[in-house]
Amino acid sequence: MNQNETDLIRRLEDEERELVLPTFDYDDAWALGRELMRLATERDLAVAVDIRKGAQQVFHAAREGSTVDMDTWIERKIRTVYRFGASSYLVGRRHGGDFNAATGLPFTEYVAHGGAFPIRVRGVGIVGVVTVSGLPEADDHALAVEALRSLPGR
């Protein structure tokens, strides 16, 4: 692993430590989803957005130009977050080259491409996942992180 990759992993780990919320309820999920859609609309991004609280899908929206394939990517990214307890981008970086070969997990069920970020509550742990799909993986990840940072009270 080269220094750039090591630095990226360190930055992603720092984001996960930083983005721990005091609480997360259904209204927060809607606020997060609305913020993601506002950013995507403002920037004319063809993305699909998904917010889960536990296993329940609380928010899902897609912009013009998005495709049904983005929804299948969302499902696979979410499974990766719940299985590994970290963002799909961080999981991918930690596994280097081919995540699916390294883990033996099927590509049809799990992907370690950026865009799904765990929603953590202080003293509780992971309570949900926010996911963006449709952009290059670093950009999907960055959009989810930007929206999480905008939540009041974090």
Whether the Cβ atoms of residue 128 and residue 51 lie closer than 8 Å to each other: yes
The pLDDT tens digits for 70-111 are 999 999 999 999 999 999 999 999 998 789 999 999 999 999
* pLDDT(12) > 80: yes
For residue 127, what is the DSSP state?
A: E
CA-CA distance, 85 to 105, in Å (whole number)? 16
Q: What's the pTM? A: 0.95
HEC assignment per residue over 53-95: ECCEEEEEEECCCCCHHHHHHHHHHHHHHHHHCCCHHHHHHHC
